[in-house]
Every structure is written in C-alpha cells, then in structure tokens.
Amino acid sequence: MAVRVAETGDHLTASAGQATSEPGFLDRLRAFYLRSDAAKGYVLLSPVMITMVALLAAPLILLVLYSLWTQVGLHVDTAPTLQRYQEVLNKQSYVDIFWRSIGMSSLVTLVTVGLAYPMAYYVAFGVKRYKFIWLVLLTIPFWTSYLLRAFSWKIILGYNGVINSGLMSLGLIHEPLGFLLYNQTAVIITLAHAYAAFAILPIYVSLEKIDRTLLEAAADLGDGAWARFWRVTFPLSLPGVVGAAVLIFVPTTGDYVTPALVGGPTGQMIANIIQVQFLKIGDWPLGSALAISAMAGVAILVVLFVSAMQLAVRQIR
C-alpha cells in the first residue's frame, strides 16, 4: 500500500543523476501520490469504504430493487413495478400502524428530550469537578444490552410483576393493574427509558461548548438568569437538542424489540409487521416496499421538523 510505493525511493536516490530523462508513467503516478494528501488519505480510507459499500450501500440498493419486484409463489418476478407501493399505501392497517408508530415515537422523543435537557444542563453548568464520573454514569446504560433493558420493564409492568406485586403487598391495591402492560403506554415508557442515554450526550456537548463569557456579557447588559437562559443558552444549545430529537425519533419509529416484548396487539409498530413479512410470510418485495415507504415517511417528517425548529429559533432575539 502506502509503504510499498514509497520504499522504492532507495534506488531512486542512487540513480537520481539521470533524473532529467522522461519520467515513466509509474513515476508520474508515484509523484502524484506523494504530492497529493488526498490520495494518501483515500488509500487509507479504502478498506473502510469498501466494507461499508459492500455491507451497507449494496444491501440498501438491493432493498430498493426488491421493493420493485413481485413475490410469485416461491420465486421472485423481477419485472419492475410499483404495485408493492400501491399495496402498502392503500392498506389501511399499514397506514394506521405507520401513524401510530410516528405518534408513539414523537411522544417518546418529547419525554426523553424534555427530561434529558435539565440533566445535561446540570452536568454542563452545575457540576464542577466530577463531570467525567457523571458522564460515564449517564452513558453506561447506553452500552448495555437493549434487549435486557426492555425485558426488565416487562417484568416490572407485568400482571404479576414488580409494580403490581409491590403495590399489593403494601396493601395499596387489591387487584393487579391490568393496564400497565401490553399496550402503547408500556411501549412509550420502555422506549423512553431505553433511549434516555441517546439524548443526554448531544445536548450536553452543545451546552458545554457555549462560551461562558457570552452569558457574562448578557448579564452585564441587564439580563437576569431566566432571560440569559432563554435568549442565549437555549438558542445556542438548540442544534444539540434537535440532534438528540432526531437521534431518538428515527430509531424508535423502527424499533422491533420493545413493541414485541411489551406492546401487545395494540402496541405493535412498523418494524413488527416488516418482520412478519420477512420471517413469517416470506413476501420480501412487500416487506421491502413497506420498509422503504416507512423510511421515506420518517425522513420527510424529520426534514420538516428540523426546518421548523430552525425557523422557530430565529424568532428568539
């Protein structure tokens, strides 16, 4: 790679006396490589790029292709057609599930970001000496098994679970509460808990970056604590907030595990019906069309959201 090309400099130094002869193609290539920062960089980057193209770009392209094909019995008819998309958009249950997922994710995002902001604010502005410990404590949950974290809510919210048995043994209720599990609320609670860590870091980073002397200037110009927060801190932290919101919204709309574990029949989300198409029914073209339509829908909503936020923040002066 980079090494082999350069090592031949040995005999080049020796024969440099003949450097005035016409440089060959290989020499010109080497010269270009040595002169070009970009060439060296891309050579190093190539293994990663190739891996990602093979494992990410190619599969996604195949996904799009499949969505244009048709499942006929056990094989796939590759004549391109938009019929799968028509099926998806026309089926009311699919459309319903899509909007239900969007609704649940929006609620999750609101709750998670709303709770994470004061927490991040505290670490950025209130903690002086042990920031690292706080940050590690806040991010450890992020790295532990998502499956197990979702599962722990199942045992907490269950009919004979922690909350019910706890409340009953304390004598506060006489019958278990049935509405805790296997519905949308359970999904929302579980997702909010599972994705909490996602929200903290982006907000923290954008708060931490704020130049403290800006706040001192605002105070000097007459702003009290709340005004300083609203007019200086909040607008400057908004990119982090928007980033956190997107970081939570997008994955939660496509979540499979939580609805499957705690959602019950009314709490199913898009990912669950996609999984059924792929692993049970076997209609991959339909599943692909479903997946892509859902992704496109989410992407459009995210773009609208981000633009709206940018417009809104411009109003704060």
Nearer to other proteins, 38 or 79 (CB): 38
* Shortest CB 314 distance to other proteins, Å: 25
| Region from 81-89, 90-98, 130-138, 203-211 binding other proteins, contact rule CB under 8 A | 130-138
| Region from 5-13, 83-91, 178-186, 304-312 binding other proteins, contact rule CB under 8 A | 5-13
Please list every residue from 213 through 272 that binds other proteins, using CB under 8 A: 216, 219-222, 225, 228, 247, 250-251, 253-257, 261, 271
Nearer to other proteins, 85 or 256 (CB): 256
Please list every residue from 171 through 190 that binds other proteins, using CB under 8 A: none
60 in contact with other proteins (CB under 8 A)? yes
42 in contact with other proteins (CB under 8 A)? yes
Nearer to other proteins, 127 or 312 (CB): 127
CA distances for 271 relative to 63, 148, 278, angstroms: 15, 19, 11
Q: With the CA atoms of 178, 180, 186 and 189 taken in that order, what torsion angle do they form, in degrees rounded to the nearest 10?
A: 180
Q: What is the DSSP letter of 211?
A: -
CA triple 38-41-42, angle to 5 deg: 85
* Shortest CB 217 distance to other proteins, Å: 8
Task: For residue 270, give the nearest of 283, 279, 260, 261 by alpha carbon.
Answer: 260
Q: Is the CB of residue 282 less than 8 Å from the CB of residue 202?
A: no
Q: With the CA atoms of 284, 276, 289 and 262 taken in that order, what torsion angle do they form, in degrees rounded to the nearest 10?
A: -150
12 in contact with other proteins (CB under 8 A)? yes
DSSP labels for 31-87?
HHHHH-HHHHHHHHHHHHHHHHIIIIIHHHHHHHHHHTSEEETTEEE-S--SHHHHH
300 in contact with other proteins (CB under 8 A)? no
Nearer to other proteins, 304 or 312 (CB): 304
